[in-house]
Structure 1
């Protein structure tokens, strides 16, 4: 990637992150039956996006002068993860958070690095159940857990 492209990209993501933080203030701060309001995750996502974009901008000054080699773009991996993300959003309500996130992570990990199925399954399961437990049980939030036909 080029230094100029990375700088402009970091500025675009900085603006998007700031928009997330600003617009999340318009979301109600509490939800029925939840101590964690729907405004928390967009704010956290916006702050993370801002921090990562600032880091990318800073790192562009550390690039070596001769590091202008072009990398081949991997459209196949991009399309696999893009389609998986669309299916994830589409199936979240009907299949629930745990199953949908588990399947999405499996597809994503295998698209990025084929093989090591044991590691992929363990990390996907631990993340899916861990985030669900943390959000629903510890923070008293609400997520679609499992579909009704599953229980």
Structure 2
């Protein structure tokens, strides 16, 4: 919960990273963070040309990278949100070279629900660098629910 607040505060204050990898068993926070980025990084006028929502079932990692390498049109940034990225689990590791050298004007948000990235792989290691952020949304246990509701 605190990590989510800190992440949202950073985005509000203009500390926006090129890559956000949102993963874990609890889909609620993954959806809320992706929605917040999609709503607040670009103005309404900029969204028409510079915001794109892709779905893991319909695209490949190469499609994601080629879209992420484009330059924004009449804006400072472009936002690409990849929903249902867990369908790319066999090829998601091919994203590592892009994360090592991301397009500074692109904000890439990957929603990898109900699965976790293998922490031993290269992609997880390069996401820890200043180029990206890994957010793991852990499942709430029954004894944590009352505290979560109070907050």
**Richer in helix (by share):** 1
TM-score range normalised by the length of the shorter chain:
under 0.3
Q: Report the structure number with the largest CA radius of gyration.
A: 1
Q: TM-score, normalised by structure 1?
A: 0.25
Structure with the larger strand share: 2
Between the two structures, name the one with larger relative contact order (CA 8 Å, sep ≥ 6).
Answer: 2
TM-score by length of 2: 0.25
